[in-house]
Amino acid sequence: MKLHLVCVGRLRKGPEKMMVEDYLDRFAKAGRGLGLPPVTVTELDAKGAGMIAEGELIARAIPPGAAMAILDERGRRITSPDFAAHLGDWRDQARDVALVIGGADGIAPDLRDRADLAISFGAMVWPHMLVRVMVAEQLYRAASILAGSPYHRV
Ligand SMILES: C[S@@+](CC[C@H](N)C(=O)[O-])C[C@H]1O[C@@H](n2cnc3c(N)ncnc32)[C@H](O)[C@@H]1O
């Protein structure tokens, strides 16, 4: 299994980048004993060419056969344990996974249609850099849930 975080846009030095790095580092440590690999982050820049050009870059960055989970406000509002269960299932199937965060115009409709899972963090639109922080935190939370550690409480 390989785990990819494919993002349109670059994170500059700053608090969001520090938080993403911290959570992904925690995820890598927590995932070690769970058969979950460290996350590979791919940042894409279509240089303002728009959603369709970004969609083509995203499609090229996703390994063939990988499960594609997109972040999209129109997606499903799943719980953190549900997300952990998806991650655990993909791991058990030895399936590569690509988590995709779109750019300012969102993710191209044809890619959205092809997604195995569309995850919503609520009906409001968040900036891509905050979504990246939230995904990194949810990955760490998922690993904690799969490990049975007390980080996640309901
Ligand atoms: C600034 S938003 C773009 C919103 C755009 N208007 C759209 O139609 O998707 C950039 C990216 O952040 C992610 N995103 C923003 N809000 C989200 C939410 N509530 N749930 C999940 N992902 C979200 C999506 O991947 C989106 O493509």
Residue-wise pLDDT for 29-63, tens only, equals 999 999 999 999 999 998 888 999 999 999 999 99
Q: Could you give the CA distance from residue 152 to residue 140 in angstroms, rounded to a whole number?
A: 10
- Pocket probe for ligand 1: among 125, 134, 137, the residue whose CB has the most ligand atoms within 8 Å is 125
Give the pocket of ligand 1 (CB within 6 Å). 71-73, 101-102, 104-107, 120-122, 124-128, 131
**Helices marked H in the chain — which ranges?**
15-32, 51-61, 80-92, 109-114, 128-147
pLDDT per position in the chain (154 positions), as tens?
Answer: 999 999 999 999 999 999 999 999 999 999 999 999 999 999 999 888 899 999 999 999 999 999 999 999 999 999 999 999 999 999 999 999 999 999 999 999 999 999 999 999 999 999 999 999 999 999 999 999 999 999 998 7
CA angle, residues 91, 93, 99, in degrees to nearest 5: 50
CA distances from 81 to 77, 85, 138, 153 (A): 12, 6, 10, 10
Q: How far is the CA of 135 from the centre of ligand 1 (A)?
A: 12
**Closest protein CA for atom 8 of ligand 1:** 106
Beta-strand relationship, 97-101 and 3-8: parallel
Q: Which fold has domain 3-147?
A: Alpha/beta knot (3.40.1280)
Q: Could you give the CA distance from residue 8 to residue 1 in angstroms, rounded to a whole number?
A: 23
